[in-house]
Chain A
């Protein structure tokens, strides 16, 4: 019975891995080989595409830029979301439900709606084409998500913990940093993971809000795709490299992802 059932996840995972395998295998082929027809494995194995990426500053700065704004965004989002999530999980206050829903509406807003206004807003305060601009723009959907996840995790911590700490004479900041935070570290990890993920994969705003200085890897890829003809090998190698940061980050939270995806609500 168990044996037969495990076929389904295996088939599913094979289906997920096929396009990824195809991308990785293409990145080790020459562009000529890719264009000449179908081959399951690279016939002339080459790492030229990777060498090209790691020796060209436009390429590797694309990755560095992306990592800078993603990290910046994660830090800002978690930092502002922590106190808010605490308030939502512990207290009732005037307009709390409305505020929570309003935050969520920003998660629902189509990024395409915000592209042009963001461009104008950030140009007017002179942060266009900086990492900060992209990081701030991405807080639009990451902050509500972080509040949502953290609130779910904090709700699971009994209120008695807070009360005991106050009776023992802890001040709020000391209680929050030394007792409360260690208790929800899984939640913080998961929230940070989600902020990282959604900022890393989002490209419309990242491309609209940058020109040269903070250009994300996606923009570098599009430019190469159009100017250098269609260098498929190079493009595949660049694509493969964009999978790696996500794979590293997810390995750290592997034991919490299931609960994390449920926003702590199970």
Chain B
């Protein structure tokens, strides 16, 4: 049982100062920009909530948001079940376990721009392994610089390649914590593989699975570098996800007001969805 102790605040102070400096000051800058108009020379004019209205109504933002939800939805729908299946079929002990884990974690340790560049070259027709295989061996017309569908498939396969292991490792951690006695009891009762999964393995994986979904949601919703390097948002705007669009407006066009308003809306959406996950996750944590 935890004891009540207000002096614990002293332990938290260093984190508080550091994160407050890093998060609050920039956040205030963003809020500041979001309600003003600037014409350069550090002249600012009060704009109220105009930028927010303009962003929320703009087709460009709605389209990027739609693409973002589509992307996050698809990769969650693929990575979570796939991660569970792989975790279930992994060996529980022995020499191969650390080897498997290290190899699986490897894609996550590659810098994001390298991941993007790597898949870009990997998918090039004629030159890249994937591009060559699709075009010259399977005879499918595959070129992600021309065809939006091919670009989407490449981005999704890249993300599955990059992050499914996170789900695998989390689920695996949950699975190895199940005592053997549970399985023996299930065997004596003559339980089917499905009921073992449904009544023993799935409940044990619940916490870790929620962490996995939370992390995958946050990271895929904020994804920038990999798709930017892979497709640059193209062809056309077909793979321009929210972050890519935001950076285009903020650093490309230097439209600070709209970019700031968009940042806040973006952050609010991430926060809202993550909060729901967090509440669900900590509900039976106590």
- Which residues on A are within 8 Å of B, measured CB to CB? 2, 5-9, 12-13, 15-20, 22-23, 26, 34-35, 37-38, 40, 76, 79-81, 83-84, 86-88, 90-94, 96, 99, 101, 103-118, 120-121, 136-137, 139-140, 143-144, 147, 159, 197, 200-204, 208, 217-218, 221-222, 225, 232, 235-236, 239, 242-243, 246-247, 249-251, 254-255, 257-259, 261-263, 265-266
Top 3 closest pairs, chain A to chain B, by CB = A246-B109, A117-B26, A87-B11
User: B259 near A: Cβ within 8 Å?
Assistant: yes
Instruction: Assess the B224–A204 pair: CB atoms within 8 A.
Output: yes
Contact indicator A143/B218 (Cβ below 8 Å): no
A250 touches B30 (CB 8 A): no
A236 to B106, CA, bound (A): 17
Contact (Cβ within 8 A) A12 B104? yes
Is B9 located at the chain interface by the 8 A CB criterion? yes
Are B207 and A34 touching (Cβ within 8 A)?
Answer: no
Q: Does B184 contact A (CB under 8 A)?
A: no
B113 touches A203 (CB 8 A): yes
Residues of B within 8 A of A7 (CB): 89
Looking at the assembled complex, report how far the CB atom of A204 sits from the nearest CB atom of chain B, in whole angstroms.
6
Interface residues on B, range: 35 or more
Query: Can you list 29 contacts pairing A with B, beta carbon distance less than 8 Å?
Result: A9-B90, A17-B103, A19-B161, A23-B121, A92-B2, A93-B6, A104-B278, A108-B274, A109-B222, A110-B242, A112-B224, A112-B246, A112-B250, A115-B250, A116-B256, A143-B15, A143-B18, A197-B109, A201-B109, A204-B224, A208-B251, A221-B114, A239-B110, A239-B117, A250-B105, A254-B98, A258-B169, A262-B174, A266-B207
Within the complex, which residue of A18, A114, A139, A266 is in contact with B177, where a contact is CB–CB below 8 Å?
Answer: A266
Name which residue of chain B comes closest to A2, CB basis: B91
Determine the distance from Cα of A80 to Cα of B126 in the docked complex, in whole angstroms: 51
| Residues A259 and B173 in contact, CB atoms below 8 Å apart | yes
Mark interface residues in B108-149 (1 if CB within 8 Å of A CB, else 0). Answer: 111111100111011000111110100010000000000000
